Structure 1
Amino acid sequence: MSPIPTGRLFRTDQGSDLVLTRTFRALADDVWASLTEPERTARWFGPWEGEAAPGRTVKVQMVFEEQEPWMEVRIDACDPPRRLALSMVDEAGTWRMELLLSEVDGVTELRLVHHLSTEEGIGEVGPGWEYYLDMLAASRAGTPLPAFDDYYPSQKAYFEDLTTAD
């Protein structure tokens, strides 16, 4: 399988936004549950624990990463079922992102917006988000989960080229 990268890069006054989109034949409430309920996030990203609320921090286990590390994720904003803003800090730096849902006639669009402080490393970050969003889609559809090797390094050049496009 050779998944086709979909990410787009937008320059803003604050930096750059990497935006990836997926569409689901489902109500926004159901897609929201896939993004926020620990037993459902465990299927495609990893389980989490803690008291979830804006301004609070939860712990998320990255079960699809080597050594399945736990990381702290701060909930910056939560407006169910439309917007979830998160931030986390790891050895690669600070990650700020938003998950935005919009629904029309029972079809929900999910936009993952990764607010980049630098475009350096986008060749690794972009394929990772493509992989995780396709993991979400597969977990919702009950189909086999994709393999990360189908995304990286094959999509690296696509994302690096976004930084030079006008």
Structure 2
Amino acid sequence: MTPIPTGRLFRTDAGSDLVITRTFRALADDVWAGLTEPERTARWFGPWEGEGGPGRTVKVRMVFEEQAPWVEVRVDACDPPRRLALSMVDDAGTWRMELLLSEVDGVTELRLVHHLDTEEGIGEVGPGWEYYLDMFVASRAGTPLPAFDDYYPSLKPHFESLTTEG
């Protein structure tokens, strides 16, 4: 498989936003369930434990990462089925992101917005999000999950080029 990157970079007053999109022939409620229900997130990202809700922290098992670590993820905002804002801190730094859904005539667009404090490392981060979103697509379609090796390092140049565009 040769994935096609969809990532775009937008400069903001607070830094930069990396935006990656996917479109589904499904209602926003159904896509939302795939993004938020532990048994469904387990299929493409990892299961989570705890009581979700704004201001709460849940534990997510990153089953597709080396050693499948558990990480704490804070729910910063939750407006079903339109917006989920999350943040977490790990060895790589602070991760702030939003999952935004918009539906028109039974077609839902999912935008993953990763709020970046710095564009350093975008060549690694971008391919990872493309991979996870394609994992989400495959989990919904019931098709085989993609391999990360198809995404990295082949998509790295695309994401690095975004930092030089004006």
Same fold (TM over 0.5): yes
Partner SS for 2:144: coil
Determine the C-alpha separation between the residues in 2 that align with 1:69 and 1:117.
24
Cα deviations by residue, 1:86-111 (Å, 9 ceiling, x for unpaired): 00000000000000000001000000
Partner of 1:88: 88
What is the Cα deviation at residue 43 of structure 1?
A: 0.3
Q: Return the letter of the residue paired with 2:5.
A: P
Q: Deviations over 1:84-136 (max 9, x none)?
A: 00000000000000000000010000000000000000000000000000000
2:111 counterpart letter in structure 1 = R
1:161 has 2:161 as partner: yes
Q: Which runs of 5+ in 1 are unaligned?
A: none
1:123, 1:74 → 2: CA distance? 25
Give the distance between the partners of 1:75 and 1:120, measured in 2 at CA: 25
1:86 partner letter: L
Give SS of 1:137's match.
helix
The SS at the match of 1:109 is: strand
3-state SS in 1 of match to 2:158 = helix
Deviation at 1:145, TM superposition (A): 0.2
Shift of 1:67: 0.5
Once residues 89 and 48 of structure 1 are traced to their aligned partners in structure 2, the CA distance between those partners, rounded to angstroms, is: 16
Within 5 A, what are the aligned runs for 1:1-166?
A: 1-166=1-166
- SS of corresponding position for 1:21: strand
Deviation at 1:36, TM superposition (A): 0.3
- Equivalent residue letter for 1:133: L
Distance 2:155 2:107 in 1: 28
TM-score by length of 2: 1.00
Separation of aligned partners in 1, 2:3 and 2:94: 27
Amino acid at match of 2:14: Q
Tell me the TM-score normalized by structure 1.
1.00
How far apart in 2 are the matches of 1:121 and 1:84? 24
- Structure 1's consecutive aligned runs of 4 or more residues displaced over 3 angstroms after TM superposition are none
Q: Which blocks of at least 5 consecutive residues in structure 2 are unaligned?
A: none
Q: Secondary structure at the match of 1:60?
A: strand
Residue identity in the other structure for 2:125 = V
Separation of aligned partners in 1, 2:64 and 2:26: 25
